[in-house]
Amino acid sequence: MTCCKRYPSRLSITWFRNRLAGFANSGFRQTALAINPVLKLSLAWIPIKMLYFCDWLRAARLTAAVVTIGVAAVSFSLADEWKSGIEWQTPPVVTPGEGMAPPSDAIVLFDGTDLSEWDGAQNWIVRDGYAQVNGGSITSKQHFGDCQLHIEWATPEKVEGHGQGRGNSGVFFMGRYELQVLDSFENPTYVDGQAGSLYKTKPPLVNASRKPGEWQVYDAVFTAPRFDEQGNLLRPGYLTAFHNGVLVQNHTEILGDTKWDVPPTYSPHGERGPFSLQDHGNPMRFRNIWVREIPELTAKRPAK
Ligand code: MG
């Protein structure tokens, strides 16, 4: 026949961009449809229909094809979504800080002006927005359990000593689990005692230290261990930490108190504890210390 042009038209189902998709080829264009994933295993490629039509039938058949595709698309999309049925609480709104500034829900432990949030700090030096170690370790007045910590620190610009004697301090969660602070810039020491280590438990994944005197940052997520009423360990603690934005501890299991002279061993304690900043004899500086408590999300589970 030469009275009209002929256009192939077909609907097929095949893989497309890592999904199973239906292709309606009317001769003018192709339309991709999302297909119920249930069909993925059972359908690979199914040519459904091959139509040929000429000019005067084109409009009617194209209309029918579009209607068919539309119905298929609606039914496929309705079948595609899965919902848990869990009614989660609406996450509260938190305004992020600019740069390193604390977010709106953070508890600020040191903003550069005073150490009123700390015990034992009467001899520490506060000036130019930082606090400097001087005369003993300090302990936060507020206690925390699961939390996110931000703290900035700097080792002395003038290098003195070596190994553990150079730029040593530490951030102790619950007063007993130490994220080591040390000048680890070209300063070899035992690796589970260098900066970013969970002291005597696990070395950092990498050494992300800046040069002596430069400000450095720890951002950490701490999960407190749980004990039952008899003091038995129900669940260990965990630590995730970033050093200058680089991951150094990835959900590291805490094995117990991090001491220099004995292996890590748990001693039962309460659900909350203070932060401690260590005086190890070096004039370390700290600034911009804030904490966010990590709540348990609540939800209504669907009745079974
Ligand atoms: Mg230390």
Quick: pLDDT tens for 163-182.
999 999 999 999 999 999 99
Taking the centre of ligand 1 as the mean of its atom positions, its distance from the CA of residue 45, in whole angstroms, is 63
Which of 35, 48, 56, 44 is closest to 9 using CA atoms?
Answer: 48
How far apart, in Å, are the Cα atoms of 234 and each of 144, 227, 231, 295? 19, 5, 9, 19
pTM of the model: 0.75
Tracing tokens 């890590």 back to the chain, one arrives at: 264
Cα torsion through 171, 174, 175, 179, rounded to 10: -30
* CATH placement of domain 106-293: 2.60.120.560
Residues of the chain with CATH 2.60.120.560: 106-293
Q: Are 201 and 258 in contact (CB under 8 A)?
A: yes
Taking the centre of ligand 1 as the mean of its atom positions, its distance from the CA of residue 97, in whole angstroms, is 29
Token pair of 187 as six digits: 């300063």
Ion ligand 1 residue ranges (Cβ < 5 Å) = 168, 170, 278
What is the predicted pLDDT for the residue at 77? 56
The neighbour count for residue 261, using CB atoms within 10 Å, is 5
Taking the centre of ligand 1 as the mean of its atom positions, its distance from the CA of residue 197, in whole angstroms, is 10
Q: Are 48 and 92 in contact (CB under 8 A)?
A: no
3-state secondary structure of 191: helix
The neighbour count for residue 255, using CB atoms within 10 Å, is 18
Q: State how far the Cα of 149 lies from the Cα of 241, in Å rounded to an integer.
A: 9
pLDDT < 70 regions, the chain = 1-62, 64-78
Half-sphere exposure of 304 (CA within 13 A, CB side): 0
Taking the centre of ligand 1 as the mean of its atom positions, its distance from the CA of residue 256, in whole angstroms, is 16
Handedness of CA 290, 246, 278, 99 (dihedral sign): negative
Token pair of 246 as six digits: 């680089």
What is the predicted pLDDT for the residue at 192? 98
